Structure 1
Amino acid sequence: MLSTGFDPYDPQLPEPRRSTLRHVLDDHLLEISFKGRIGLKFHSWWQEPYWKFWTVDRSRKS
């Protein structure tokens, strides 16, 4: 759930027509666009607090 309190996977919300992934690496913006929704899952390794990343959630229907 987002910090604003909205669940992006709420079934009452309309399905997105497009998803965009953005990442800044060495002052360069990488932007990739896809049709529809991309299910993402957040990971954080508690032993290495600086290793935080997102992965594609294949179990979630897109």
Structure 2
Amino acid sequence: MIIGSVSLLVGSLGIILPLFPTTPFLLLSIACFMGSSNKLYSFILKNRYLAPYVKDYMS
């Protein structure tokens, strides 16, 4: 949960700041939350801003 939360924070910052890559950190957080927290996993997949970055890799 901690690694997933940190990578979600860094991935979210990557949307705003061009220095941080967004997609790898969001994919890491998806992988961490897949087994630990269904609520955060579905939050990322349903979020208007985060979902477009990971939907292509999830299919």
TM-based fold match above 0.5? no
TM tier, shorter chain?
Answer: under 0.3
Quick check: which one's helix share is greater? 2
Q: Structure 2 length normalisation: TM-score? A: 0.27
Quick one: higher RCO (CA 8 Å, sep 6+), 1 or 2? 2
Q: Structure 1 length normalisation: TM-score? A: 0.26
